[in-house]
C-alpha cells in the first residue's frame, strides 16, 4: 500500500476525499478527469473532474438564480448561523482536512492542521460580521427629507485560488461573500483541488443552500477568462501571479465588475543591527521556510550583524528534516511540483554564478518526489534574479546593507508591494521604517501578520483590495442610497369591521392606529372602511359588491373584525365572505402567534409566560375547506353528503417552506408537523412525504411529527416542547383556537392571512367571532384586534411602530387593565384608552431628546429681552446632568437642532467638552457665534481672582467671551466636598476665602463689563434674602436670577421680587427621564394625559409663558 493510500484509508470520514465537481446543487463526476499528484513521491494522488467552459457557464447561471433567493430568504443572523455550523464542521474534521491538504500540497501535518484552523477562523469571523452589515443615514440639505444607505450583496462572486494555501485561500474569499448574501463560483487550483472539494462538502452538510456554492475544478486556463468576462459574475477575487492578475483585471473592465487581486509579493525581510537576532531568525524561519519555502523572499541584514545572523539562520536551517508531510519527524516537506523545484535550482545557479555563496543546501539531494534542500545564500546582490523574481521555494537569499536609507530604497526597488517585515528594538526607527516601506502590510519584530480580522492585501503591482476584515465584507456589497420624503409613505388599508363586536374592536383599533400615525409622522394610513356585513347581505343579497375586488386589489392590507349573525347561517358568511377573501387574494398562509401576554394567567397549571411561545402556520387555501363534494338523495332517509379534502403538492410544499423559514428564524429552530396520516391515507400521507422532502433543505431545523389527536394532548401537557407548528386547514383552525384559549383567552389572539408573494393584500384579524350576545355592550376584548394591527404594521414594513404597539399592549395587560373575559372589570373603551396613553408615554420616553427639540416650534416666544437689551433664547440645554463623554455630542446635536442657549459652569467639570461641541458646530458653519448664547458660572468664594477664573472658563470653552456670567451660589461652598473644580494655587492648595462675600464677588464681576469677555452678568440660586443684601451695593443690576422653577416648585415669591426689580427669571428644570419624580407628579401627568402630550411638553409650556428655560435631558 502506497504512502498516500495508507493515509487516505485512515481518514475518519472517507467521503471527504473525492474528485467531483459541485454544480447546480449536485455532485458531478465528469468523464474527462485530470491527475493530482502527491508531491513527496510524485505518484498520482487521485483524479478530479475536469470541467468545461459550458460547466462554468451553467454553474454561474445557477449561482445567479440562487443568490437573490438566498439573500431575500435569510437575515444576517441566519447567514451567520449557517457559517458558524460550517466552522464547527471544519474544526470537527480538522485531522481529515489536514491529511488531505498535506497529501496534495506537501505541507507538514502540523502546518496543515494550523492552516485548517486558520481557514476556519475566517468562517467564524465572518459569521459574526454577517450581523453587522450597517447602513448609514445622511443629513439632507432638502427639508423634511431623509437620505440613507443600505448594503446589498453584489451578486455572484467568481473565486480563483492558488495552491500554496488550499484551505485558507478558499475560506478567506468565500466567508465574506456568503456572509453578505452573495453566491460563489470557485475555480480551485488544479494542483490542490481536493481540499476545496472537502470544504464544500462540509458547507453543504452545514445547511448552506446547495446552489450558493459552485465548485468547478479544471486545467483549462480559459475558465478564468469566463469568470472575468461573464456578465452574471459581479465580483472577481483572484490570488496568483501579477501577470495573470493584470490580464484578468483588464478582462473584468468589460463588464465593470468589482475585482480583488492578491498578486506577487517578493517581500523584503529586514534585520537592523539593534535587532534581537534570535527573534529575527525565528521570524525568518516562519516567513521563509513554512509551506516548503513557498512564501516571502528577500532577507536584508545590516552589515554589523550579517555574519552572526547568517550563522544562526544556517544552524536553524540545518535542523530542518525533509520528508513526506505526514511523517511525524518531517519539518520540511516537498514543493508542489517539479516546475517549482526547477525554479529554485535556476535561482541558486544564477546567484552562485554572480558571486553568491551557498551557506547550506543548494541541491536536490532526495531522488524521489519534488524536494529541494533548504538553502541559505550569502553575498547576494541586487543584479541577481532572486532579487527581482519570487523564488517560491526553500531559498533564503541574504543581502547586506549599511544604512537605513539604503535598505528602504532596496526594499522599495520593485514593482511589488504585498508585505514587508523588519526587526529593530528602536521604537522611533520602527515607526519611521513602517511608514516608508511601500507595502500593504508591515510586520515589526514578527513574521505573523495575517488574521481573519486584519485586512490582507498589497499595493503597487501586488494587487488591490483587501481580503479578510470588514473591508472585504464591504467589497462584496453595494451601498444602495434612498431618498425618502418624511411622511411620504402611504399605506392603503381596507377596513372591514363586519358584524357584532367586530365593529366595536375595529373602531378602537383605528383610533390606536391613528395615534401611532400621529406619533411617528413617517407614514400615513389611508383607511377605507367597507360595510361588508351580514346586514348588507340581508338587504342586498351579497357581502362583496361588484367593485369590491378592485378596491381590495388597490389596498396594501386588510383589517378585518368579525363576521356572523344569528340571522344568517354560518356557512353563508364563511363561503360568501371569509373564504373568498382568502382564495381570491391567494392568502394561502394563516399565521397565528400564540403566547401568554404579561399579567395574564393561563388555564394550564404551572404554566409560566415563557412556557408557551408558539407560531402556528396553517395552510389556508385548500384541504378540508376546498369546497369540493356535494349531497345526493336530499330530504330522504338516504341522504348522502360527501366532503372532499383536496391537497396539492404545490399547496403543501409552499406551506412547508414558509413554515420551515419561520422556524429557522426563531431561536429554537424547531418545527412540528400535524397530520392524521394513520387514518387519512392519501392527502395526509402526501403531507408527510413533502414534509420530509423539504426538511432535507433545512438541516438546521429540528423536526418532529404528531397526529392531530395526540397533538391536543401535547399542547396541554407539554407546551414547552413545542415551538413552530404547521398543519392543514382544518387541523390548524381547531388547534389555533385551542392554543389561544391555553394562552388565556380567545379574545387576545391575533391572526394573519398572508399572501407571501405580496402580489395581493394580506388580511389581519382577531380570531374571535362576532359574539352577538355581547355586541353593543362595550365589553368586548380589543387586544386581539390590536395585536393583529401590530402584525399588519410589521407586514407593511413599519417595524418600529409594530414594536411600540406590542410593547404598549403588554404594558397594559401587565398593569391589570383587562376586560371581563380576562377577569377584569374594564370596558373595551377603557382598555383602548390605556393602550393609547401607553403609546404616547413610551414614545415620548423613547424619543425625549427629539421631543425637546420639537417643543421649540410650539413655544409661545422664541426670545426674552434682558435688562441689558440683549435677547436671551427661550430654550436652552443645561449640561449639569450630562454624563462625561456625552457632553460634546449633546451640545453639538442641540445646536444643530435649534437650541441657541448652552448653560454650563467650570465646576461641572465638562467645559472642555462643551467647547468641543460648540467648536464642531461653528466650524461646520451650521451656526454663527453671534447666534449663540453661552452661559457660565463661578463660585462667590474665589477671593479676588474673579477675572482669572473667567479666563479659565473661556480657555476651556475655546471662546473669546460668554454672553452671561453668573455667581453660582450666594454662599461659601465646601471646596473638599462634592465639587473638585475649585482653582488651585501653584502649590496645589485650594484658593478659598470663606470671608469673601457674594457682594464683594459681585463688585469684581461688575469690572468685567467692558473687557469684552462678558456681555452680561447675573446670579444663580439667589433667594429674596440674598438679593436684598446685594442690590443696595450693586452698580449693575443682575440681568437674570437662574433658579429651579416648575409647577411643583413655582418660586412665586422670588419670581415676583425679581420682576419688580427688572431681573429676569431663568428657570432650570432637571427633566431627566420620563421615570423621574418630576415627570410623575400627578398634576403634570394629568395635564399631559388630557392633551395627549408628554409631561416634558407640559413643563416647557409652563416655562415658555414667562421665562427662558434651561433643560437637562437624560
Q: What positions carry a catalytic annotation?
A: 262
| 563 CA to centre of own chain | 43
- Between helices 649-665 and 683-695, what is the axis angle to 10°? 40
Ramachandran area for residue 999 (φ above 0: left; ψ -120 to 50: alpha; else beta): alpha
Quick one: cell of 1073? 427621564
Please spell the DSSP secondary structure of 530-546, one letter per residue: ---SHHHHHHHS-SS-T
Beta strands (DSSP E) in 88-131 are none
φ and ψ of 444, to 5 deg: -105, 115
Give the DSSP H/E element, type plus range, for residue 121: helix 109-129
Q: Are 499 and 565 in contact, with CB atoms under 8 Å apart? A: yes
CA distances from 711 to 565, 666, 673, 706, 716 (A): 32, 21, 10, 6, 9
Residue 377: which of 363, 398, 354 has the closest Cα? Answer: 398
Q: Are 71 and 152 in contact, with CB atoms under 8 Å apart? A: yes
CA distances from 558 to 470, 530, 754, 788, 1003 (A): 42, 10, 10, 11, 73
CA distances from 44 to 12, 34, 99, 326, 393 (A): 22, 10, 16, 16, 22
| 187 CA to centre of own chain | 31
Number of other residues whose CB lies within 10 A of the CB of residue 122? 30
Residue 1063 DSSP class = P
Q: Are 355 and 398 in contact, with CB atoms under 8 Å apart? A: no
Residue carrying C-alpha cell 467564524: 124
Q: Please name the residues in contact with 1043: beta carbons below 8 A apart, sequence gap of 6 or more.
A: 1020, 1021, 1022, 1051, 1054, 1065, 1066, 1067, 1068
Q: Please name the residues in contact with 120: beta carbons below 8 A apart, sequence gap of 6 or more.
A: 87, 90, 91, 94, 171
Residue 351: which of 380, 329, 393 has the closest Cα? Answer: 380
Q: Are 23 and 50 in contact, with CB atoms under 8 Å apart? A: no
Residue 990 DSSP class = B
Number of other residues whose CB lies within 10 A of the CB of residue 84? 18
Residue 877: which of 922, 927, 935 has the closest Cα? Answer: 935
| 992 CA to centre of own chain | 53
Q: Are 654 and 759 in contact, with CB atoms under 8 Å apart? A: no
Classify strands 357-360 and 375-380 as parallel, antiparallel or unpaired: antiparallel
Task: Return d(Cα 950, Cα 935) in angstroms, integer.
Answer: 11
Task: Return d(Cα 510, Cα 532) in angstroms, integer.
Answer: 17
CA atoms within 13 A on the CB side of 115: 29
Q: Are 194 and 202 in contact, with CB atoms under 8 Å apart? A: no
Task: Return d(Cα 727, Cα 182) in angstroms, integer.
Answer: 33
Residue carrying C-alpha cell 466552522: 87
Torsion of CA 46, 49, 52, 57, to 10 degrees: -130
How are the residues of the chain apportioned to helix, strand and coil, as percentages rounded to the nearest 5?
A: 45, 20, 35
Residue 497 DSSP class = E
Number of other residues whose CB lies within 10 A of the CB of residue 829? 15
Amino acid at each position: 500500500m502506497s504512502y498516500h493510500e495508507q493515509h487516505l484509508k485512515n481518514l475518519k470520514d472517507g467521503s471527504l476525499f473525492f474528485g467531483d465537481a459541485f454544480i447546480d446543487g449536485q455532485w458531478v463526476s465528469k468523464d474527462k478527469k485530470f491527475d493530482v499528484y502527491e508531491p513527496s513521491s510524485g505518484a498520482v494522488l487521485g483524479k478530479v473532474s475536469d470541467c468545461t467552459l459550458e460547466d462554468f457557464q451553467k454553474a454561474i447561471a445557477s449561482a445567479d438564480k440562487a443568490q437573490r433567493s438566498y439573500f431575500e430568504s435569510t437575515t444576517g443572523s441566519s447567514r451567520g448561523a449557517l457559517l458558524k455550523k460550517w466552522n464547527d464542521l471544519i474544526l470537527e474534521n480538522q485531522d481529515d482536512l489536514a491529511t488531505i491538504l498535506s497529501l496534495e500540497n506537501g505541507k507538514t501535518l502540523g502546518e496543515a492542521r494550523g492552516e485548517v484552523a486558520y481557514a476556519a477562523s475566517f468562517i467564524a469571523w465572518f459569521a459574526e460580521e454577517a450581523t453587522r452589515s450597517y447602513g448609514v443615514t445622511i443629513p439632507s440639505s432638502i427639508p423634511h427629507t431623509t437620505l440613507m444607505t443600505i448594503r446589498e450583496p453584489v451578486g455572484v462572486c467568481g473565486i480563483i485560488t492558488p495552491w500554496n494555501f488550499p484551505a485558507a485561500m478558499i475560506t478567506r474569499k468565500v466567508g465574506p461573500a456568503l456572509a453578505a448574501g452573495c453566491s460563489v463560483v470557485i475555480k480551485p487550483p488544479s494542483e490542490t483541488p481536493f481540499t476545496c472539494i472537502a470544504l464544500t462538502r462540509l458547507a453543504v452538510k452545514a445547511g448552506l443552500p446547495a446552489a450558493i456554492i459552485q465548485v468547478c475544478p479544471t486545467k483549462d486556463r480559459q475558465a478564468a477568462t469566463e469568470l472575468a468576462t461573464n456578465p452574471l459574475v459581479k465580483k472577481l477575487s483572484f490570488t496568483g501571479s501579477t501577470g495573470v492578475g493584470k490580464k484578468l483585471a483588464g478582462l473584468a473592465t468589460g463588464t465593470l465588475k468589482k475585482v480583488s487581486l492578491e498578486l506577487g509579493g517578493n517581500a523584503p525581510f529586514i534585520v537592523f543591527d539593534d535587532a534581537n537576532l534570535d527573534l529575527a531568525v525565528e521570524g525568518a524561519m516562519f516567513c521563509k521556510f513554512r509551506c516548503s519555502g513557498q512564501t516571502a523572499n528577500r532577507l536584508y541584514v545590516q552589515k554589523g550583524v550579517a555574519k552572526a545572523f547568517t550563522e544562526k539562520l544556517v544552524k536553524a536551517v540545518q535542523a530542518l528534516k525533509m520528508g513526506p508531510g505526514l511523517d511525524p519527524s518531517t519539518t520540511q516537506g516537498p514543493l508542489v511540483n517539479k516546475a517549482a523545484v526547477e525554479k529554485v535550482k535556476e535561482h541558486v545557479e544564477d546567484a552562485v554564478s554572480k558571486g553568491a555563496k551557498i551557506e547550506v543546501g543548494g541541491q536536490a539531494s532526495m531522488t524521489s518526489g519534488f524536494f529541494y534542500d533548504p538553502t541559505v545564500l550569502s553575498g547576494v546582490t541586487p543584479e541577481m534574479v532572486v532579487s527581482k523574481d519570487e523564488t517560491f521555494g526553500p531559498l533564503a537569499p541574504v543581502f547586506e546593507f549599511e544604512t537605513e536609507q539604503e535598505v528602504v530604497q532596496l526594499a522599495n526597488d520593485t514593482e511589488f508591494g504585498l508585505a514587508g517585515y523588519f526587526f529593530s528594538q528602536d521604537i522611533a526607527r520602527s515607526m519611521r521604517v513602517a511608514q516608508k516601506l511601500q507595502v500593504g502590510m508591515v510586520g515589526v519584530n514578527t513574521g505573523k501578520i495575517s488574521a481573519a480580522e486584519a485586512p490582507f492585501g498589497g499595493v503597487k503591482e501586488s494587487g488591490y483590495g483587501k481580503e479578510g476584515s470588514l473591508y472585504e465584507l464591504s467589497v462584496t456589497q453595494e451601498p444602495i442610497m434612498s431618498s425618502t420624503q418624511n411622511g411620504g409613505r402611504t399605506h392603503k388599508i381596507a377596513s372591514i369591521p363586519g358584524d357584532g363586536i367586530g365593529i366595536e374592536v375595529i373602531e378602537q383599533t383605528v383610533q390606536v392606529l391613528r395615534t401611532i400615525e400621529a406619533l411617528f409622522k413617517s407614514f400615513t394610513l389611508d383607511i377605507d372602511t367597507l360595510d361588508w356585513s351580514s346586514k348588507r347581505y340581508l338587504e342586498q343579497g351579497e357581502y362583496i359588491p361588484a367593485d369590491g375586488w378592485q378596491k381590495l386589489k388597490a389596498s396594501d392590507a386588510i383589517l378585518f373584525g368579525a363576521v356572523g349573525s344569528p340571522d344568517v347561517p354560518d356557512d353563508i358568511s364563511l363561503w360568501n365572505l371569509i373564504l373568498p377573501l382568502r382564495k381570491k387574494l391567494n392568502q394561502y398562509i394563516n399565521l397565528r402567534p400564540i403566547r401568554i401576554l404579561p399579567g395574564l394567567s393561563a388555564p394550564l397549571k404551572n404554566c409560566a409566560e415563557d412556557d408557551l411561545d408558539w407560531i402556528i402556520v396553517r395552510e389556508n387555501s385548500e384541504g378540508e375547506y376546498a369546497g369540493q363534494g356535494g349531497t345526493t338523495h336530499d330530504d330522504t332517509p338516504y341522504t348522502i353528503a360527501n366532503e372532499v379534502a383536496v391537497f396539492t403538492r404545490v399547496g403543501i410544499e409552499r406551506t412547508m417552506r414558509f413554515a420551515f423559514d419561520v422556524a429557522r428564524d426563531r431561536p429554537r429552530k424547531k418545527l412540528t408537523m400535524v397530520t392524521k396520516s394513520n387514518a387519512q391515507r392519501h392527502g395526509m400521507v402526501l403531507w408527510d412525504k413533502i414534509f420530509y422532502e423539504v426538511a432535507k433543505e433545512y438541516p438546521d431545523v429540528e423536526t418532529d411529527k404528531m397526529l392531530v389527536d395526540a397533538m391536543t394532548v401535547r399542547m396541554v401537557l407539554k407546551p414547552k416542547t413545542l415551538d413552530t407548528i404547521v398543519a392543514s386547514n382544518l387541523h390548524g383552525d381547531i388547534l389555533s383556537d385551542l392554543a389561544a384559549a391555553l394562552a388565556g383567552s380567545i379574545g387576545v389572539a391575533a391572526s394573519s392571512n398572508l399572501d407571501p408573494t405580496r402580489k395581493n393584500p394580506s388580511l389581519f384579524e382577531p380570531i374571535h367571532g362576532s359574539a352577538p350576545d355581547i355586541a353593543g355592550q362595550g365589553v368586548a376584548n380589543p387586544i386581539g384586534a390590536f395585536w393583529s394591527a401590530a402584525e399588519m404594521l410589521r407586514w407593511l414594513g413599519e417595524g418600529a411602530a409594530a414594536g411600540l404597539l406590542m410593547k404598549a399592549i403588554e404594558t397594559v395587560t401587565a398593569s391589570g387593565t383587562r376586560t371581563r373575559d380576562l377577569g377584569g372589570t374594564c370596558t373595551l373603551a377603557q382598555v383602548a384608552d390605556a393602550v393609547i396613553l401607553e403609546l404616547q408615554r413610551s414614545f415620548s420616553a423613547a424619543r425625549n431628546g427629539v421631543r425637546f427639540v420639537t417643543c421649540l416650534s410650539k413655544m409661545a416666544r422664541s426670545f426674552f429681552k434682558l435688562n441689558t437689551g440683549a435677547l436671551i433664547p427661550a430654550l436652552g440645554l443645561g449640561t449639569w446632568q450630562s454624563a462625561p463623554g456625552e457632553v460634546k455630542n449633546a451640545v453639538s446635536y442641540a445646536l444643530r437642532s435649534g437650541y441657541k442657549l448652552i448653560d454650563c459652569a467650570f465646576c461641572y467639570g465638562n467645559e472642555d467638552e462643551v467647547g468641543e461641541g460648540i467648536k464642531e458646530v461653528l466650524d461646520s458653519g451650521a451656526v454663527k457665534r453671534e447666534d449663540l448664547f453661552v452661559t457660565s458660572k463661578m463660585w462667590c468664594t474665589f477671593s479676588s481672582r474673579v477675572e482669572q477664573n473667567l479666563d479659565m472658563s473661556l480657555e476651556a470653552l475655546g471662546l473669546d467671551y460668554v454672553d452671561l456670567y453668573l455667581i453660582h451660589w450666594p454662599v461659601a461652598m465646601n471646596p473638599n466636598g462634592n465639587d473638585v473644580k475649585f482653582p488651585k494655587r501653584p502649590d496645589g492648595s485650594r484658593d478659598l476665602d470663606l470671608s469673601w462675600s457674594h457682594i464683594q464677588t459681585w463688585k469684581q464681576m461688575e469690572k468685567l463689563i467692558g473687557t469684552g469677555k462678558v456681555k452680561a452678568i447675573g446670579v444663580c440660586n439667589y433667594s429674596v434674602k440674598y438679593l436684598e443684601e446685594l442690590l443696595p451695593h450693586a452698580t449693575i443690576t443682575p440681568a437674570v436670577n437662574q433658579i429651579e422653577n416648575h409647577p411643583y416648585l413655582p418660586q412665586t415669591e422670588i419670581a415676583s421680587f425679581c420682576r419688580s426689580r427688572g431681573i429676569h427669571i431663568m428657570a432650570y428644570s432637571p427633566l431627566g427621564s420620563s421615570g423621574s419624580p418630576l415627570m410623575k407628579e400627578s398634576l403634570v401627568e394629568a395635564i399631559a394625559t388630557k392633551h395627549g402630550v408628554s409631561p416634558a411638553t407640559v413643563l416647557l409650556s409652563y416655562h415658555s409663558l414667562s421665562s427662558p428655560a434651561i433643560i437637562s435631558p437624560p
